[in-house]
Structures are given as C-alpha cells and as structure tokens.
Structure 1
Amino acid sequence: MKKTRPADIYLRFLNLAEALRGLPALPALDPLEERILSLIAQANQKMDRLSVRDMMANDQLGSPATIHGRLKSMRSKGWIMLVDTEDARRKQIELTTEALAHFDRLSKCMLKATKG
C-alpha cells in the first residue's frame, strides 16, 4: 500500500478545488479578487466588521482605485454585497449566500481530499 504524504492530500484538494471552477455557480475571480474574497471571509469568520474604506486602506492589495474597481467587479459578479452601517457614508462588505456556498463546497473538497 502506498503511503500518503501530507503534500498528496493538499494536491488532491487543489485538484478538487480546480474542478469547482468549471461549475456554473458564480463568475470567476481574478487572483487579486480571490485574495480580497479570502480577506473578507476571514474578517467575517472572526466577526470583524470590514468596510470599503478599511479594504481600500490595505496598501498590500494595490492602490485604492484598484481595490475599489475590484470590489465593484466582485459585487457585480455576485460574490459580495455592500450593507449600510449607522454612518450612511460607510458600507460594510459581506459575502453573498452564493459566496458562502462556494466556501462550503471548498470545505467538502478538503474533507474529500483527506479521505483519499
């Protein structure tokens, strides 16, 4: 019997996750949008509030104009939604139901990859 290395599990996960890209769920994201989506998901997981202004202040993602353009694109693709806060000038970034379902599918891929 062949011994499974941890790298094999990760590579199986990548293959399964790649197969999700072909499913007609939501339009594809570019690499920067995927990074932004991960940051939004992590903030939501920690129950942290994340506003458009907060995201645009993250200089590791590029210029504020670039970030704003990506957020607009992600919103039109159905990955995120902007929710009003107590300050009408600030918008909270949240994942859509479809984006949460995407993370559910990725989680199933992880579990399947570990089972071999």
Structure 2
Amino acid sequence: MKTSLSADIYLRFLQLAEAIRGLPTLPALDPLEERMLGLIANAGARQERLSVRDMMAKNELGAPATIHTRLKSMREKGWIELADTEDARRKQLELTEAARQHFEKLSACIVQAARDA
C-alpha cells in the first residue's frame, strides 16, 4: 500500500516517538494523564495560567476527585509541579524541566521524521 509523503512523515514520527518512550526517563502516563499533560503544556505555550482549580473544573476530564488523583500521580512521576501564585490558596500547574526536555525530544523526532522522508 502506497502512502502519501505526509503520512510517511507522521508514521516515521510515531516510530521515533515510540523509541524515546522506551528510554529510561520519566514514568509512563495513562491516557487521561497524557491528555492533562497536553492541556498543561498548551497553556504554558500560550503563557496562560492553569491552576489546579481550573483543571478540576474541566468536566470532560471526569470527576474532580479523579482529576486530583491524576495530578498527584503526575507530580509524583515528575511530569508537573505546582507553582505559587499571588493567592496562596491557588497553585499553578507547570511542566517540570524533565517534561520540557521530553517535549524537546518529541520535537526532534518530528524534525528527524521530516528530514528522513
């Protein structure tokens, strides 16, 4: 079956991304945690604040208790950290340096996949 150039690039990216997932870095995330990580990363990229309260208000992610449990798990795994805000009761969600490095590696995979195509 012949695929398009863009499909070839994407498939190559998936292969490269899977290879870096096998490297001993941060512990794996479950699908909900992956989705939450994406929301946190996107908010950071837009330089927007995303607090724990904001995340728990996202009904599409499930019950607040589920979200809170996943955030705790992601902190323990080293993917996210909580930063103080001007209101001591509100904590902002941020990527850890290790998580930012993970995204840098994924970015390199995209570049490599496009170069190899």
TM-score by length of 1: 0.95
Q: 2: CA distance between counterparts of 1:111 and 1:5? A: 14
Q: 1: CA distance between counterparts of 2:51 and 2:7? A: 36
The one-letter code sitting in structure 2 at the alignment partner of 1:99 is A
Change (3 A) 1:9 1:49: same
Query: Percent same amino acid among aligned pairs?
Result: 68
Change (3 A) 1:80 1:87: same
**What is residue 37 of structure 2 aligned with on the other side?**
37
Q: 2: CA distance between counterparts of 1:11 and 1:78? A: 28
Structure 1: gaps of 5 or more residues: none
Q: 2: CA distance between counterparts of 1:4 and 1:30? A: 31
Q: 2: CA distance between counterparts of 1:12 and 1:3? A: 12
Q: Secondary structure at the match of 2:86?
A: coil
**What is residue 75 of structure 1 aligned with on the other side?**
75
1:3, distance to aligned residue in structure 2 (A):
8.2
**Once the two structures are superposed, what CA deviation does each residue of 1:61-88 show, in whole Å capped at 9, x if it has no partner?**
1111111000000000000000111111
CA RMSD, 1 decimal: 1.3
**What is residue 105 of structure 1 aligned with on the other side?**
105
Matched, 1:65 2:65: yes
Q: 2: CA distance between counterparts of 1:63 and 1:18? A: 30
**What is residue 28 of structure 1 aligned with on the other side?**
28
Q: 1: CA distance between counterparts of 2:54 and 2:4? A: 42
